[in-house]
Amino acid sequence: RYGYNTLVDAHVLPATNINYEDGIKLLAYLNSSSSPTASIVFKGTIIGDNTSPMVAWFSSRGPSTSSPGILKPDILGPGVNILAAWHNSVENNTNTKSNFNVISGTSMSCPHLSGVAALLKSAHPDWSPAAIKSAIMTTADQTNLGNQPILDQSLLAADVYSTGAGHVNPARANDPGLVYDIEPQDYVHYLCGLNYTHREIFIILQRKVNCSTESRISEGQLNYPSFSVRSNESADQTYTRTVTNVGEANSSYIVEVVAPQGIDVIVEPRTLHFSKLNQKLTYKITFRRSANNGNTSVSHRYVLWKSAKNSVRSPIAVS
């Protein structure tokens, strides 16, 4: 199940951990010799692996079953073999008193993303949680250190349901150019659109909401920095997005679209002109089944708003 990933482990006996490909080679050697021999040589820390980052086998995949109109996951973060500070042992069966450890999982990637969010909030105190998330998502990397597509544990190109917007890039997130902001009331309209009960919404918001008196929006109308569309829809799917200028006061953005196979993507207007900071502009995006409708793909397709300085990328998923 690890595929080509290997995880650090504290072995009781002299041992090592190899990936699937190396395991096949080792097995072939064992079967080819009547007296196989082996040795373990410690070579220290080896750096410069251009296939990093890679999506681990345990990384959560989309699509979301509870809200398929919102692309999940949002973002990738470092979470494999992370060396970090470690608390004192609370177990009674060990004398280990290490101040550091190497572990993997959400327990590692979540602190990385939380730290990035904290840095962005410190640098931009007026940004909302939604603006911070948008900055992280729209500036993410889609390629590894070798400038090749990010791979999964099988050494295949990871699709959008594995990577979301891509791998977090903290430096670029600090200057996203544009952000997709969401007001708290927008979430109320979203939850009502999902037909949540009054009790379910109260559990989330900790206040009473009567959806019969509230506006309702479809999932795709939430001002999210990504798009998730259905390929079996014969009718056009049109959504509205509003972006806020947090970059240069006087700036213009031109849209670039890489559309999924079998889907035509129409964006109006195709240019956004800003004259001041925090100015908001709205565009409409329509997804239409094309005449040459073939098998849709969950590979990396996107809408990109590009200025002289910034690139604001929103991934598109088709299910």
The partner residues of 273 in beta bridges, in order of sequence, read 252
Cβ atoms of 116 and 139 closer than 8 Å: no
* Pick from 18-27, 124-133, 261-270: least confident: 18-27
pLDDT score at 40:
84
pLDDT, averaged across the chain = 91
Q: Is the pLDDT of residue 94 over 60?
A: no
Tell me, yes or no, whether 208 lies in a domain: yes
Same domain, 24 and 163: yes
Which residue range is the domain that position 195 belongs to? 183-216
Same domain flag for 192 and 247: no
**238 and 187 fall within a common domain:** no
Q: 267 is written with which tokens?
A: 């964006």
Residue 196: partners with Cβ closer than 8 Å, 6 or more residues away: 204, 211
Same structural domain for residues 40 and 147? yes
- Whole-number percent of the chain with pLDDT over 90: 72
C-alpha atoms less than 13 angstroms from C-alpha of 165 in its C-beta half-sphere = 24
How does pLDDT run across 23-40, given as a tens digit for each residue?
999 999 999 999 999 888
Question: Would you say residue 1 lies in a domain?
Answer: no
| pLDDT at 10 (0 to 100) | 76
Tell whether 9 is covered by a domain. Answer: no
Class of residue 216 by CB neighbours under 10 A (exposed 0-12, middle 13-18, buried 19+): middle
pLDDT of residue 273: 98
- Whole-angstrom distance, CA of residue 255 vs CA of residue 129: 25
Share of residues in the chain with pLDDT > 70 (%): 93
316 pairs with which residues across the strands? 227, 301
- Residue 88, pLDDT > 80, answer no
Q: Are residues 78 and 135 in the same domain?
A: yes
The answer to whether residues 212 and 314 belong to one domain is no
pLDDT number for residue 292: 65
Question: Cα-Cα-Cα-Cα dihedral of 97, 101, 106, 109, to 10°?
Answer: 130
Is 6 part of any domain? Answer: no
Number of separate domains in the chain: 3
| Residue corresponding to tokens 């010799």 | 33
Pairwise pLDDT comparison (179 vs 23), residue with the higher score: 179
Domain CATH for 107: 3.40.50.200
Which among 116, 149, 173 is the end of a domain? 173
In a shared domain, residues 203 and 308? no
Model confidence at 153: pLDDT above 70: yes
Of the ranges 103-117, 279-293, 294-308, the best mean pLDDT one:
103-117
Question: What is d(CA 134, CA 317) in angstroms, rounded to the nearest whole number?
Answer: 17
Residues forming beta bridges with residue 311, ordered by sequence position? 306
Is the distance from CB of 139 to CB of 302 less than 8 angstroms? no
What pLDDT does 124 receive?
98
Q: What is the CATH number of the domain that holds 285?
A: 2.60.40.2310
pLDDT digits (tens, 9 = 90+) for 30-74: 999 999 998 888 888 888 889 999 999 999 999 999 999 999 999
Same-domain pairing of 27 and 147? yes
User: How confident is the model at residue 95, as a pLDDT?
Assistant: 60
Domain membership of residue 12 (yes or no) is no
What is the number of residues in the chain? 319
Q: What per-residue confidence (pLDDT) applies to 317? A: 94
- What residue spans of the chain are helical by DSSP H? 20-32, 106-123, 129-138, 160-163, 170-173, 184-193, 198-205
205 and 246 co-located in one domain: no
